[in-house]
Structure 1
Amino acid sequence: METSDKVIHAIYNDDDVLMAAVKTVKAKRFHIEEIYTPFPVHGLDKAMGLAPTRIAIAAFMYGCVGLTVATIMMNFIMIEDWPQNIGGKPSFSYLENMPAFVPIMFELTVFFAAHLMVITFYLRSRMWPFKKAENPDPRTTDDHFLMEIPVNHGNERELHDLLSKTGAVEINVVNNTH
């Protein structure tokens, strides 16, 4: 798709009205560039036609890394490097001590999955420290919803009329900053 020099910002003040508007705009085969919301709107990604996220696959892989690190770490520390007789438990093999190590394995699995998912999300979203905010309207962090649609080949009037019918409380044509 070619990039446009102008975009329309349609502002809504209700998430149900926004959801209906997205379905109407998609039915008319217009491309929605982005939607800014103050909170997650259930079903919005499906209504926009976005591909499903793969974060669950990444979480599983990160959890496996955490489990592996926990197993290797405990085997080295408690069995190979400095075996100790704690509470009469044998320290001859990892398998004999595994029931005592289960809480540590669980905690490191969750720790690695959670922290690496956050890092992955920030990198994938290109959100790093000191990055300038890309939010086109500060009201979308409070109580308004903004739908951004590129203007192509003189369809500005058609888009404006369509968005007015969908319940937009404000429609602005602005220069594209992407």
Structure 2
Amino acid sequence: MEASKVIHAIYTDDDVLMNAVKKVKAARHHIEEIYTPFPVHGLDKAMGLAPTRLAITSFLYGCVGLTVSIVMMNFIMIEDWPQDIGGKPSFSYIENMPAFVPIMFELTVFFAAHLMVITFYLRSRMWPFKKAENPDPRTTDDHFLMEIAVHGDENELTNLLKETGAVEINLIDKTH
């Protein structure tokens, strides 16, 4: 069953990797995943990945934080326990809003940041005590690994990867 075989091509330079990705995609091979020790600018575009929608969720989380801050301050400072602080009575939220702007800003940022971290971890399926899915520990230090599905002639694909500058090429059977 050839669909379960993948080739792991190891590279030692990010520029060589970027050129290799472009050549492999031009040859119409499917790149399953790329493991890198640091983010490589433009790699997502070269692989043809769709843009992320995490920025939209961040904006929505910020809106939730702003709403929570407004409702919280209106309840606490105007309805539940109004106080005359420095001769400024709490008749309405709008009259006192300039004093509440720092709290509104901080809660907007707080909600956006914390909920984005949780969303990122859930979306990436990275929860506590999860075993790492990294196929080669060297990719956490100084190597780059391209995982390509084998569909057809593996010798042709191996030769293409050698031409692109791969320093190591391994055929892996994913059924085990």
Equivalents in 2 of 1:77, 1:3: separation in Å?
65
Amino acid at match of 2:35: Y
> Paired residue for 2:83?
84
Equivalents in 2 of 1:125, 1:131: separation in Å?
11
> Paired residue for 2:43?
44
**1:163-174 paired onto structure 2 within 5 Å:** 163-174=161-172
In 2 relative to 1, CA 88–142 (structure 1 residues): closer, same or farther, beyond 3 Å? same
1:14-39 Cα deviation digits (max 9, x unpaired): 00000000000001111100000000
1:83-102 Cα deviation digits (max 9, x unpaired): 11112222010001100000
**1:161 has 2:140 as partner:** no
1:22-72 Cα deviation digits (max 9, x unpaired): 000001111100000000000000000000000110011000000000000
User: How far does residue 3 in structure 1 lie from its aligned partner after superposition?
Assistant: 8.2
Q: Which runs of 5+ in 1 are unaligned?
A: none
1:86-119 Cα deviation digits (max 9, x unpaired): 1222201000110000000000000000111111
In 2 relative to 1, CA 120–177 (structure 1 residues): closer, same or farther, beyond 3 Å? farther
Give the number of aligned pairs: 176
User: Is contact 1:90–1:96 with CA below 8 Å preserved after alignment?
Assistant: no
User: How far does residue 177 in structure 1 lie from its aligned partner after superposition?
Assistant: 6.1
Equivalents in 1 of 2:83, 2:173: separation in Å?
69
Amino acid at match of 1:137: D
Equivalents in 1 of 2:175, 2:91: separation in Å?
64
Q: TM-score, normalised by structure 1?
A: 0.96
> Paired residue for 1:15?
14
Equivalents in 2 of 1:114, 1:3: separation in Å?
44
**1:62-141 paired onto structure 2 within 5 Å:** 62-141=61-140
Give secondary structure in 1 for the equivalent of 2:31. coil
In 2 relative to 1, CA 160–113 (structure 1 residues): closer, same or farther, beyond 3 Å? same
User: Is contact 1:17–1:166 with CA below 8 Å preserved after alignment?
Assistant: yes
Q: TM-score, normalised by structure 2?
A: 0.97
CA RMSD, Structure 1 to Structure 2 (Å)? 1.4
User: How far does residue 141 in structure 1 lie from its aligned partner after superposition?
Assistant: 0.3
Identity %: 82
Amino acid at match of 2:167: V
Misfit runs of 4+, over 3 Å:
none
Q: Which runs of 5+ in 2 are unaligned?
A: none
User: Is contact 2:2–2:150 with CA below 8 Å preserved after alignment?
Assistant: no
